[in-house]
Amino acid sequence: MKKQLLSEVNRVREIMGIKEQYSKAIKTGEETTNVTVNVPPIKGNYGTGKSDPTNFIEGAIITIINEINNTQDAAKYLEDGKLQLVDINVVAGASNNWGTPTQFDHEIVGGEYLPSNEGRGEELDLDGYNSNLELAKLRASRFIEEVTPLLESQGIDISEQLSSTPVGMVVDTGGKVDDDSCTTDCGQVLLLTLSFKYVDFQEFFTNKCQPGIEITIGSQGQVEGHVCDEAVFKVLVNGHEIGIANLNNAGYDLLQGGGAYPWLDRGHMNSVTALQNIDADKRYSDGIAGGERSWTTMIDTTNPELNWGEENKLSIKSIVETKNGMSFVKGGLVCVDDTARAPALGSGRNQRCGGHTEVPYVIIKNTPIEGQLTEVYNDYPNVDVPRGSMKVTELLDLNNCGVPISSVETVQK
């Protein structure tokens, strides 16, 4: 039964000596964070009927910067020069006195400036109220004009699309008049709300493996008991054939011509050449009978035919067909039980002809950096294939970077 439990992944990796998954960080976006800073009320110090904030604007800047530094994360991004002002809302006040008491729309309750409907009575002057309201709006607009470049000088980026909202209010001061010597409860107050944003260029990253993965299927030959010409496999990824691994290393594989074997007609010799030419550029042979053979290919995991995903199956399927005591590959004879009849093709194994039984070794390399191959697996999958089997045999489950998730036991279908 195939091992699928993800809880076994780390244990299997430790047993198999698998390296950690390699990946490359690809920036997929940026994080923009909005932050609002509510500045404590700033006491104005205007002359009567005036809107120039010069007398107190330096203190206002100190108050604003202190509040930014007291706001979570804002201080860090101000220090890094990443804090951008995108909106400034200023509510400026004027006293409800214009020669005589006027109507008002705000009152002072517990030190806070709260909206009020109590000051719109007919007994209070409406014209004076309108003049006070106009003066208050002018104070708000003038403050925005003056404070913006000063904030920029403190390292705050001012958005080209800065939104500014000047608002006026008329405050019930109980008879007190705006005066540059009056700094408490005289209506000369500014209520600021500043909206900033900061952009973090390091937030949205995802680990994305490079698409190139190299797979090698091979055999050490005589060292591991492999001396035969019945080891030719289709190699499949997610059921899609990616090539043919010819691991033959006996007499048939070494044939160069039929002169020494009169029983080998030209048709058979043509089949020898055809088999030797399959994926020849991907095949390694040390040229020794019973020697080492391997097949290596690079797969492109972006190829839609592979259906490459988070979990992938590497499989093999023998293409050796056995009948009447003989084995064939694509019609070419590669083994006969009668050694005397065909000495170069005799089984020589004290057993009848039939497809290879031992699963070859597998090497997998991925590309943590484009073009740079790094080995992540080099071992023999724990699989046995019945002699002569023509069924698909799963070797390994691979993750999206080509790293084996787990070894599998024999699974055929």
Lowest-pLDDT range of 96-110, 175-189, 243-257 = 175-189
Binned at pLDDT 50, 70 and 90, residue 3 comes out as very low
Q: Is the pLDDT of residue 241 over 60?
A: yes
For residue 137, the number of C-alpha atoms closer than 13 Å in the C-beta half-sphere is 7
Q: How far apart are the first and last CA of the chain?
A: 13
Q: Is the pLDDT of residue 11 over 50?
A: no
The torsion angles phi and psi of 393, rounded to 5 degrees, stand at -120, 120
Question: For the chain, what are the domain ranges?
Answer: 6-26+210-407, 31-200
Q: Which two tokens stand for residue 265?
A: 């007609």
Question: How much is the pLDDT for 75?
Answer: 85
Q: Which two tokens stand for residue 114?
A: 């709260």
For residue 152, give Cα distances in angstroms to 119, 120, 372.
Answer: 39, 40, 47
Q: Is the pLDDT of residue 30 over 70?
A: no
Question: How much is the pLDDT for 372?
Answer: 82
Q: Is the pLDDT of residue 213 over 90?
A: yes
Is the pLDDT higher at 210 or at 141? 141
Radius of gyration for the chain, computed over Cα atoms and rounded to the nearest angstrom: 42
Distance CA 248, CA 243 (A): 15
Helix ranges (DSSP H) in 300-358? none
Helix ranges (DSSP H) in 70-218? 74-79, 126-153
Distance CA 213, CA 241 (A): 15
**Strands of 212-219's sheet, edge to edge?**
283-285, 293-300, 212-219, 361-369, 372-379
Mean pLDDT of 296-314: 94
Binned at pLDDT 50, 70 and 90, residue 169 comes out as very high
Binned at pLDDT 50, 70 and 90, residue 382 comes out as low
Q: Is the pLDDT of residue 8 over 50?
A: no
Binned at pLDDT 50, 70 and 90, residue 32 comes out as confident
Question: How much is the pLDDT for 233?
Answer: 92
C-beta separation of 247 from 329 below 8 A: no
Please, what is the average pLDDT of the chain? 80
For residue 157, give Cα distances in angstroms to 63, 79, 85, 195.
Answer: 18, 12, 6, 12
Distance CA 295, CA 293 (A): 7
Binned at pLDDT 50, 70 and 90, residue 357 comes out as low
Q: Is the pLDDT of residue 79 over 90?
A: no
For residue 399, the number of C-alpha atoms closer than 13 Å in the C-beta half-sphere is 21
Q: Which residues contact 193 (CB under 8 A, 6 or more apart)?
A: 36, 37, 38, 39, 88, 89
Question: How much is the pLDDT for 339?
Answer: 58
State CA 350 to chain mean position distance: 55
Question: How much is the pLDDT for 293?
Answer: 94
Binned at pLDDT 50, 70 and 90, residue 133 comes out as very high
Domain range 31-200, CATH class:
alpha beta
Per-residue pLDDT tens over the stretch 248-284? 988 888 877 544 455 556 666 777 788 888 899 999 9
Distance CA 235, CA 393 (A): 10
Mean pLDDT of 47-74: 90
Question: How much is the pLDDT for 184?
Answer: 65
Lowest-pLDDT range of 20-29, 329-338, 350-359, 386-395 = 20-29
Amino acid at the residue 153: S
The torsion angles phi and psi of 257, rounded to 5 degrees, stand at -175, 165
